[in-house]
Structure 1
Amino acid sequence: MMGSKLSTALISIKLLALAALTTAAQAQDKAQDKSSDIIARGEYLARAGDCTACHTAPEGRLFAGGRAMPTPFGTLYTSNITPDPDTGIGKWSADDFYKTMHSGRFPDGGLIYPAMPFASYTKVTRADSDAIFAYLRSIAPVNQKNKPHELRFPYDNRQLILGWRTLFFSEGEFKPDPKKSAEWNRGAYLVEGLGHCGMCHSPINALGGTSQSDAFKGGLIPMQNWYAPSLTSNREAGLGDWSIKDITDLLQTGVSMRGVVYGPMAEVVHNSLQYLNDEDTKAMAVYLKGIAEPSPPPPASSTLPTTESSLLISLGKTVYDKQCASCHGTQGEGKPPHWPPLANNQSIEMQSAVNPIRMVLNGGYPPGTRGNPMPYGMPPFAGLLSDNEIAAVVSYIRTAWGNRGTPVSAREANELRSAPLN
């Protein structure tokens, strides 16, 4: 009888131990699943922030830094953000990472040059910052020392950043607008924060900053010779009269019935935007459409003498009919989405003619994306057409079919022949 009770007690103890082990294993599995979910979310957010574009050098290891960033003040080199303990962020805590993103300072308090878009990243929430940090901690560490910056005097003095911060930096997480929908606010968070779209689509002054009143009003991208159009003016890239589908198509695939992306924006779509889910892409579209300000069409005017303009545009039509009409149509109607229309095309009519000149000179491809894996490209004409012919055909497409742009000069075409290709 005694033996039977002892046997029963031993069985009960074993069952309790087994149950405890099972519970512990289940808790560990849940913790691992939660950790995996956070890492996956962090990877998604890192793509939304386009971290790869800067922190991965051409032919370099993922996030190991070393990419040269030419600026009007000299060349900056991006940092290693892999979890290597000696040369990366392996010794950082989640608090350190959030402080860097939020305040634009290293964990030791050192000032970060504003080539890193901390003025936008300050809007990122703590939860999203922690997720990105968890993802970066999960990737392979790379032992690669950060390359010293090559800045001219006096810009190599980091203390000057204090003045820049006073003028152009407002620290603080994104605050939703209670008068707007949740979808609009999500789009604003992505565009203003993680997406840091204002870094390109806002005018940059001589100090390398942008006033808040000029946010998203377009400007020439320093050192790249591409013009990032205004996102507020319907004369440029303002999307007020675009459909939500046209905007989301452009963001996700690089092509839509209204336009095609080339140059730096093609890289953004390739590295970042194509990976966003449909809900976030639509939210961005709703926000972008919402900030567009109605603008009257620009007045038709010419910076060249009337006779010279007429001769230039006449030559341009001859070049266009021979070289361009087979794809873009005799009346500029195009064959969207792959061959964009040139008639009534905002990007053709903008005050700055940099982009159409560069496209005629250098050609290019939209990004290869999941939604458009084999994009149609445009051939370069730099070796086929003279400066006068480039100026003529660009002037023609900017003024034909009701377009209200202005003619360009051969000097403008010549200056852009030597511009970097990306």
Structure 2
Amino acid sequence: MTCGAALWLGAPRAAAQTQTQAQAPASSDAQVIARGEYLARAGDCIACHTIPGAKLFGGGRPMATPFGTLFSPNISSDKETGIGAWSADEFYRMLHEGKSRDGSVLYPAMPYASYTKVARADSDAIYAYLLSTPPIHQPNRPHELRFPFNRRELLLGWRTLFFRAGEYKPDPAQSAEWNRGAYLVEGLGHCTMCHTEINALGGNTKSKEFQGGLIPIQDWYAPSLTSNKEAGLGEWSIEDIVGLLHAGVSNRGAVYGPMAEVVYDSFQYLSEDDVRAVAVYLKALPGHSGEVSSAPPTVAATEEKNRLFPLGKKIYDAQCALCHSSEGQGKPPHFPPLANNQSIQMTSAVNPIRMVLNGGYAPGTMKNPAPYGMPPFAQSLSDEEVAAVVTYIRTAWGNHGTPVTVKEVNTLRSAPIF
């Protein structure tokens, strides 16, 4: 349900440190439960296992996929409908091997391909915390998947292609901070679930990790974290990345859509050291594909830009300049800059189109409790006008994006709103 990243404790000085902790007795059950609560926040368990406004961890939240709708299970302490009767070993097997208590394999909407990297001590802490929560007696709702995807035995083939069990192993050539960030991002963070393109089989291709992709059904684009022309982390300072993940806004931009939910439910609760470790790891990811093409625009693209640009400028000056400034410089951190903003110029124009159509707020966080928002323009602007203003912001002030078509706008009008 979430997209993008959520991170956690218990990582290495690297993982070796975590293994040492696993062998040492906890000073008190209260400490273990508190650590488990932190880890559950870090793993963003709430996002999938709690219906907004409903009781904590009662499950039943629908998750639309290209194969049908899955419903998250009850993971409260209820002994009959939750996990109250599970053992710590059974819980660890679920995280580590992707198997339920009865041995049946789980659908990979549960990101066990990432959770397998979580250390046993962290698994035990999460288990202790979940068992400390109030029991919610709510039977699990059956999934509604189309044939043949409702045949669970077919998951054995998926697992052969996309799943490798094993806890995180630290890289001795890297720093303790980098290893900590790697453990967090690759484990409970399950960042690849959104920031790696999902193929036709519902899996991630290893060679395309962190290179971005459209999130199916949700219709938001999770940018590449390896391309300086998408997420642009290569040019961001560590402080800017930490600020964005902790507060939801920074001088370089703001988070909206599914990532806003991740920051709201998860990132804002993490320690500064943990978020910094994540930033160090993400910033060090090697560059891959996903860069904006340097090829000259086609004649058709130039003509479309020239046609839409004057109308787009007129709309921008009337509707957008008050907050984002006449030259797109914005008023950071509350109103992000649009000039030289990589997220505006990406090959995919999905996100800026959706922001103009649906508006949105950055998440309310402890560091930014009263976020400023952007109003929706879906009711006041036509498809042509939205295409014009998005084309303008993608090509004005030295931006190198491509024009947006009326068809692209029309397709996204019916996309789900976050």
TM-score calculated relative to the size of structure 2: 0.92
1:361 aligned counterpart, secondary structure: helix
1:103 maps to 2:103: no
Aligned partner of 1:335 in structure 2 is 331
Q: Counterparts in 2 of 1:69-80, with a 5 A limit?
A: 69-80=63-74
CA distance in 1, matches of 2:50, 2:81: 15
* SS at structure 1 position matched to 2:73: coil
Paired position in structure 2 for 1:347: 343
In the alignment, the residues of structure 2 paired with residue 105 and residue 32 of structure 1 have an alpha-carbon distance, to the nearest angstrom, of 27
1:292, CA displacement in angstroms?
4.8
Match of 1:240 in 2: 234
Q: Distance in 1 between matches of 2:233 and 2:131?
A: 38
Give 2:51's aligned residue.
57
Instruction: Tell me the equivalent position of 1:24.
Output: none
Letter of the 1:185 partner, please give it.
N
Structure 1 CA distance, aligned partners of 2:27 and 2:124?
16
- C-alpha separation in 2, matches of 1:52 and 1:275: 13
Work out which of the residue numbers 370, 389, 392 in structure 2 matches 1:393. 389
**Whole-Å separation in 1 of the counterparts to 2:137 and 2:225:** 40
**1:421 matched to which residue of 2?**
417
* TM alignment of 1:13-412, pairs within 5 A: 34-293=28-287, 298-299=293-294, 300-302=296-298, 304-412=300-408
Higher mean alpha-carbon deviation, 379-388 vs 32-41, is at 32-41
Which structure would you say has the larger RCO, counting Cα contacts within 8 Å and 6 or more residues apart? 2
- The AA in structure 1 aligned to 2:348 is S
Q: CA deviation at 1:302?
A: 4.9
* Count of residue pairs brought into register by the alignment: 392
In 2, Cα distance between the equivalents of 1:114 and 1:144?
22
Partners of 2:76 and 2:59 in 1: how far apart? 9
- Residues 328 and 397 (structure 1), Cα distance of their counterparts in 2 relative to 1, 3 Å cut: same
How far, CA to CA, are the matches of 2:329 and 2:361 in structure 1? Answer: 19
Counterpart-to-counterpart distance in 2, 1:43 and 1:110? 27
Contact (CA 8 Å) 1:63, 1:80: kept in 2 or not? yes
Cα deviation code 1:1-41 (max 9, x no counterpart): xxxxxxxxxxxxxxxxxxxxxxxxxxxxxx99610000000
Give, in whole Å, the separation in 1 of the partners of 2:259 and 2:26.
Answer: 37
Shift of 1:326: 1.1
Normalising by structure 1, we get a TM-score of 0.91
Q: Is the 8 A contact 1:262 1:367 kept in 2?
A: yes
Shift of residue 309, structure 1, vs aligned partner: 2.4
Gaps of 5+ in 1: 1-30
- For the aligned residue pairs, the C-alpha RMSD in angstroms reads 1.4
Summarize the Cα distance change of 1:183–1:375 in structure 2 as closer, same or farther, 3 Å threshold. same
- Paired with 1:233 and 1:199, the residues of 2 have a C-alpha distance of 17
Conservation of the 8 A alpha-carbon contact between 2:304 and 2:403: no
Larger radius of gyration: 1
What corresponds to 1:7 in structure 2?
none
Which 10-residue stretch deviates more, 242-251 or 297-306? 297-306
**How far is the alpha carbon of 1:59 from its aligned partner?**
2.5
Identity %, equivalent residues: 66
CA contact (8 A) 2:292 2:346 kept: no
SS at 2:69 equivalent? strand
Which letter maps to 2:411?
E
* Residues 33-68 of structure 1: per-residue CA shift (max 9 Å, x gap): 610000000000000000000000122210010000
Shift in Å, 1:273: 0.3
Structure (1/2) with the larger helix percentage? 1
Q: Distance in 1 between matches of 2:275 and 2:298?
A: 39
How far off is 1:307 after superposition? 3.0
